[in-house]
Amino acid sequence: MKILEDISAFRWEPLPPPCYFQGMEFFHRRSRRSYRMRALPAGIADDLLRIDCICEVDLLRQAHYMRRCAPFLSIEYVKQGSLLVRQRGRAYELEKGEIFLMQPQMENEFLSGEGGCRKISVMIVGKLLESFLAESGLGMRDVAAGLDSRHIERLFQEIEELADETPDDASCRNSRLTFEFLQSLRIPSGIHELPELLAELREELELHPECDWSQHRMAGRCGCSCTHLVRLFRKYFDTTPRQYLLELRMRRAKQLLADEKLSVKEISARVGYDNALNFSTGFRKRFGISPSEYRKQLSIFS
């Protein structure tokens, strides 16, 4: 995996007409050698967490896809070649055995590398998806590397086998495989339990994201330097302290936007912003939609 400083490769010239599916907006430039998608049997109506479909595609050079506000999590596994990915203003080049976690309810995109890319993807849905991503920490992650590729590909094989089963037989197995798959991303080999002081800091940040959490203050809580704090966050959370805090604030904002009694200005203050305009800009950058537009969507679907 390589962090990309130059994101000019993601520029659309021009942006194609948008398409719409399940409430999301997406754009794509098709360039592929083959495509195979298998929908999994629908189980009980109130599935809490399950894989909806599995897809394998052989992308040619310059295949490009971008989406906004998808209601599901997509996991994109690079089987061959390379994949350029962008999310939350960060970009990476992924290689064989690495994964892009296309998070729900935000803008994200991928672009095939110079030699093309063969990838496998699964779409995960369910009533518990948002809370699972928040509690597990996976919602903070853009990519996953250093995985056991044999284990991951075995899971993909088992997932595809579900497509040939009846809904009754597939339902429980689907839920088990979904949880096992997400756990394998959450706890890759070589990652140990959080240091006690870092775990305490994480709890404080989650309880009070609105506080003035400077990097110096966070480092003080962990009893380390700012430089070492960044190393800890990258090791255990795959992000920086600043990005981790921003993510917590935006998630709190989404919860508060469900309360129509609160104005956007009040919400911005409650999540640690002095300026409502800065909050709105950050929210749009994170989710691809303004706070007021997000609130309208909530009222439509409620």
Listed residues 137, 164, 186: the one ending a domain: 186
Residues 84 and 207 in one domain: no
Largest CA distance in the chain: 56
| Structural domain span for residue 140 | 2-186
- pLDDT digit of tens for each residue in the chain (302 aa)? 899 999 999 998 888 999 998 889 999 999 999 999 999 987 654 578 999 999 999 999 989 999 999 999 999 999 999 999 999 989 999 999 999 999 999 999 999 999 999 999 999 999 999 999 988 889 999 999 888 888 899 899 889 888 877 777 788 889 889 999 998 888 654 445 678 999 899 989 989 999 999 999 999 999 999 999 999 998 887 789 999 999 899 989 988 998 889 999 999 999 999 999 999 999 988 888 899 998 887 765 44
Residues 129 and 23 in one domain: yes
Domain count, the chain: 2
For the domain that residue 154 is a member of, what is the CATH number? 2.60.120.10
Residues 6+ apart with CB under 8 A from 191: 235, 236
Residues 156 and 230 in one domain: no
Task: Count the Cβ atoms, other than its own, within 10 Å of residue 299.
Answer: 9
Listed residues 186, 205, 226: the one ending a domain: 186
Is 191 within a domain? Answer: no
Smallest Cα–Cα separation from 31: which of 64, 67, 79, 56?
Answer: 64
For the domain that residue 209 is a member of, what is the CATH number? 1.10.10.60
